[in-house]
Structures are given as structure tokens and as C-alpha cells.
Amino acid sequence: MNPNFEPESEGLPPFVLIRQNDFWGRKHKKLKEEDIANCECKYDPCNPESACGESCLNALTNTECTPGYCRCDQHCKNQKFQKCEYAKTKLFKTEGRGWGLQADQNIKAGEFIIEYCGEVISSEVAKRRSHAYEAQGLKDAYIISLNSNYYIDATKKGSIARFINHSCEPNCETRKWTVLGETRVGIFAKTDIAVGTELAYDYNFEWYGGVTVRCLCGAANCSLFLGAKSQGFQDYYHVWEDGDERYTVENIPLYDSAEDEPFPKPAFTEVPVKYESLANDPAAAQNSLASDVKLEQDVTRKSVENENNQEMEFSVEESGQVFPQTNAMISRIRSNSTYRNYNIGPSPSSKKRPQHTVNQKSKTSGRKYVSSKPVAELFASKQAQEEIRRYEELKNKAVSELNSLYDEIRPAIEEHERDSQDSVSTSVAEKWIQATCSKWKAEFDFSFSIIKNVMCPSNAASQEGVNPSSVDDAHNEIKYLTN
């Protein structure tokens, strides 16, 4: 890319070109000396790779070396974001997808291509802006999530990376790096890329309602709409996926769950969507969608408008933020986890899910929590009953320990989130992992105690304190419950 590049002179819609994130409303973090990660590399003039190449401890953990602290000094190769060491790229006009970016040199798989820069804004501001952009009729979305609390908005200010389009079969990917204490997002080559090839990554769009943009990436496995794989989109259009199969709401196989409460009545007028066999016949699916829904023609893109403006709320899994349905799309960066970082928080199932709008059960609604009382009563043996209850107590204890641990470490998580980090310290994460494993083990033991007593009622309960996995195979012949 020409360093004197001027957006206007290229005939692009106006935006301010930046090469560093603009921290809207806050300053760049000051890195404390004790937080500086030092690697062990030492520059060897005979081997340039020795100066923070692929085996550098910092590079391995997606952290750039800090100038003045790295022993390799000016030879350090692990400061690509800071030194803007981008691959050569070129803007071009695509067919139907606005502008795009293509490789202007051969790029090797794994290579850093460019940083996705923009204004770093809070989730609240992201929400407001995304409303405003949509109200202004802006169809291109440039907001991506940085971590649970912050987003990068490249709409008005951004790097050239803002022109990279989406593909369902991408040759690039996004990765998060820690640079001088701040999280930054880079575009990296996923495969070898030949000069002249368009660069594209999977936006991993989270769709919160509003316009539906047809995906024109042309990949064989194209999901047909931007954000089509996101929960919000699938709930809104009532699509249910099972492996490669996709079903309309009418054809979703019923999950066998006679006791579950049916979902509430539709909260809004249903948009009739013929969505069947999308994977097999994309053209037919697009035509059928076009004829069945109200379309807003935008020369090349079609958008499906929400038929009524009722505010439904969709939750953002990662942040717990609630976005109203009228909001558009935000691209989510898949966390490229490093060895040091762990994402922790309450299980996704505890977050608010959108209401389903039909009298239909979702796949997850079939999940049941077994209560020991009615189960234990099925067993004639007192020992079996006691054993099942005992394992349930242990399971309940593990669950409540995990819950109180969450309350205990919540401040630490929040502190890290405020700090724009999406990770917490290893010791806290280890505690969390340990408690989670204990809970899973206790749940397994509880279920196993039931199964064991069904399978071998005569001896199972008599093996006091038996380790579930140590039940003697010789006694494992199937017996039927007789009471």
C-alpha cells in the first residue's frame, strides 16, 4: 500500500486513515515494569531467526516484545504491530461487495498482513453507534469486537484492513495480540496467498437483527447471509442446524421432551422464510427468499427488513451485553488463545437467550437435570437409595462451590475486563478450572451411581465409596429394574 495513500484520491467514501488504534475516551495504557514480558532470545548474527523468531516465548504467546527491554534490540522481529510491518496490499473494486483488499505480493501461511485499526470504544458506545449507522442507512459494517468490553470501530477512522471482505472459505484470519499491554487485532494469512488474490476472513458476524446482507463470497460452503451462523440470525429465522443439514422451522425434528414447557407464543409477525435445503440448492433458496420476504434493493445487495419494530433483546454471549433487535451486525474476533490466557465466566446457558417464537422445542431444551429423590425411590435397595442421594449431595456441593468461587473471582475478572484484557491471571484461572472439573466429576459420579445401580443392583450399592470407574466388569451383566 502506498504510504501516501489518500482515501479520497482513490475515489473511496471518506474515512480517516489511521495506523494506530484511537482510544476513544481513554488513554493508551501505561505498561508497568513488572508487567513487561521478557523473552529469552539473544541475537546471533549468523542466525537472524534467533532475534525473536517463531520460537520466541513472547511470540508464542501472541505478545510483542517491548522496545528497550528486548535483548535483541533493533534486530527483534517480534514488534510487527508496533513497526507496522505489513504485507503489500492493494485496494480494488469488487463485484457486488464494494471495495476489497488484495495481496500485492505472495504471502505465506501464518504471515502477519495488517492490523485492523479503528476507534476503540466501549460496548455501550458500540451499541449506540451501530444503531445510528443503521438509521443513517449505512449497509457496510466495520465494528468488530475486541474483547468482552471493547470494540474496534473502523467506520470513520481505520486502517486499510477495514476493506477486507468476508468469506465463508477464507484465506485470512484474525488474531488477537498483546502489544504494550493493549489487545490489538491483526489479519494473518491462513493459507499461502498468491499475489493478486483477494484477502478475506470469516467475519464470524454476530447478527442482532436489522438488515440481512446476502453473502457473495462464492464459496462452495457459503452460508448465504452474513451472520447466518450466529445464534441471533438462526433464532430469528428459525433455522436449526444439525451437521450439514439445515431445517426450516416446520421441518425441525422434534426433540423428544414431553415434559418441557412449550415456548411462549410468537412475539412478532413471522417472516415467511423458505429456507429448506439451503445447503444443497443455494440459488433456489435465494430466489425463494427473494420472493417471500420484503426486500429492499440496494443495487447489488438485498436486505430483509424486520417486519415490525418490536424491540426484542438478543444477548451477546461473550459480554453479557444486551443488544436490541434493531441493532445490526458486529464482527466477532475468535479468541486466538495463548498459553497465558483463559476465558472464564458463568456458563453460556446462564445468560439470557432470545425467546423462540414458535411452539417448538430447541435442541438444547431437551437437557434435563436429574433430581435424585424420584430416581432413588425407584430402587428397592436402601443402600442404592442412599448412595444416589449421597452422590447428589456431593454434586450439589461442587456446584455451589463453583458458584461461590465465581462470586469470589468476579472482581478480578472485572478488573481485567476494565483493563481491556480478556484474560485473568493464571492462578485464578487454575482455581476456576479445578472447580469446574470437580463439578463435572461430581455430576458424572452422580449419574454413574444411578446407572450402576440399574445395571447391577445386587452388588453396586454394597461397594461403599466405590470409584465409579472401578466396578468389576464380571458383575456388569444387565439386570432389569423390578420394582
Ligand X SMILES: C[S@@+](CC[C@H](N)C(=O)[O-])C[C@H]1O[C@@H](n2cnc3c(N)ncnc32)[C@H](O)[C@@H]1O
CA 143/CA 328 separation, integer angstroms: 10
| Chosen residue from 104, 140, 276, 401 binding ligand X by CB under 6 A | 140
CA 49/CA 53 separation, integer angstroms: 5
Residue 174 half-sphere exposure toward CB, CA atoms < 13 A? 28
Residue 134 Cβ vs ligand X, minimum distance, rounded to whole Å: 11
Q: What is the residue whose three cell numbers read 450402576?
A: 452
Residue 255 Cβ vs ligand X, minimum distance, rounded to whole Å: 33
Task: Using the minimum distance from each CB to ligand X, give the nearer residue, 166 or 416.
Answer: 166
Does residue number 142 form part of the binding site for ligand X (CB under 6 A)?
yes
CA 284/CA 300 separation, integer angstroms: 18
Backbone CA torsion sign across 299, 206, 190, 62 = positive
Task: Using the minimum distance from each CB to ligand X, give the nearer residue, 163 or 177.
Answer: 163
Does residue number 207 form part of the binding site for ligand X (CB under 6 A)?
no
CA 298/CA 304 separation, integer angstroms: 11
Q: Are residues 325 and 311 in contact, defined by beta-carbon separation less than 8 angstroms?
A: yes
Give the single-character DSSP code of 364: G
CA 373/CA 63 separation, integer angstroms: 52
Residue 204 Cβ vs ligand X, minimum distance, rounded to whole Å: 12
Task: Using the minimum distance from each CB to ligand X, give the nearer residue, 303 or 425.
Answer: 303
Does residue number 342 form part of the binding site for ligand X (CB under 6 A)?
no
Does residue number 138 form part of the binding site for ligand X (CB under 6 A)?
no
Does residue number 18 form part of the binding site for ligand X (CB under 6 A)?
no
- Residue 415, H or E segment: helix 382-418
Does residue number 213 form part of the binding site for ligand X (CB under 6 A)?
yes
Cell of 405: 468461587
Task: Using the minimum distance from each CB to ligand X, give the nearer residue, 65 or 217.
Answer: 217
Residue 234 Cβ vs ligand X, minimum distance, rounded to whole Å: 18
Site for ligand X in 214-253 (CB under 6 A): 215-217
Return the CA Rg of the chain. 27
Instruction: Give the 3-state secondary structure of residue 43.
Output: coil
Task: Using the minimum distance from each CB to ligand X, give the nearer residue, 118 or 345.
Answer: 118
Q: Classify residue 371 by burial, with Cβ atoms within 10 Å: 0-12, 13-18, 19+.
A: exposed
Does residue number 163 form part of the binding site for ligand X (CB under 6 A)?
yes
Position with the least CB separation from ligand X: 98
Task: Using the minimum distance from each CB to ligand X, give the nearer residue, 97 or 395.
Answer: 97
| Chosen residue from 77, 80, 97, 302 binding ligand X by CB under 6 A | 97
CA 238/CA 361 separation, integer angstroms: 11
Does residue number 165 form part of the binding site for ligand X (CB under 6 A)?
yes
- Residue 302, H or E segment: strand 301-304
- Residue 102, H or E segment: strand 99-103
Task: Using the minimum distance from each CB to ligand X, give the nearer residue, 290 or 451.
Answer: 290
Residue 25 Cβ vs ligand X, minimum distance, rounded to whole Å: 23
- Residue 23, H or E segment: strand 22-23
Task: Using the minimum distance from each CB to ligand X, give the nearer residue, 201 or 448.
Answer: 201
| Chosen residue from 127, 129, 157, 166 binding ligand X by CB under 6 A | 166
Instruction: Give the 3-state secondary structure of residue 14.
Output: coil
Residue 369 Cβ vs ligand X, minimum distance, rounded to whole Å: 41
Q: Are residues 68 and 83 in contact, defined by beta-carbon separation less than 8 angstroms?
A: no
Does residue number 169 form part of the binding site for ligand X (CB under 6 A)?
no
Q: Find the DSSP H helices in 145-281.
A: 231-236
Residue 99 Cβ vs ligand X, minimum distance, rounded to whole Å: 4
| Chosen residue from 75, 139, 156, 340 binding ligand X by CB under 6 A | 139
Residue 55 Cβ vs ligand X, minimum distance, rounded to whole Å: 34
DSSP 420-461: T-S---HHHHHHHHHHHHHHHHHHHHHHHHHHHHHH-TTTTT
Task: Using the minimum distance from each CB to ligand X, give the nearer residue, 189 or 217.
Answer: 217
Piece in contact with ligand X (CB under 6 A), picked from 64-72, 123-131, 211-219, 248-256 = 211-219
Task: Using the minimum distance from each CB to ligand X, give the nearer residue, 82 or 191.
Answer: 191
Q: Report residue 455 CA to chain centroid gap.
A: 41
Residue 169 Cβ vs ligand X, minimum distance, rounded to whole Å: 11
How far apart, in Å, are the Cα atoms of 33 and each of 60, 66, 213, 219?
21, 10, 47, 47
Does residue number 157 form part of the binding site for ligand X (CB under 6 A)?
no
Give the single-character DSSP code of 230: S
Please tell me the count of residues contacting ligand X according to CB under 6 A.
Answer: 16
Residue 92 Cβ vs ligand X, minimum distance, rounded to whole Å: 10
Does residue number 98 form part of the binding site for ligand X (CB under 6 A)?
yes
What residues make contact with ligand X under the rule CB under 6 A? Answer: 97-100, 139-142, 162-163, 165-166, 213, 215-217
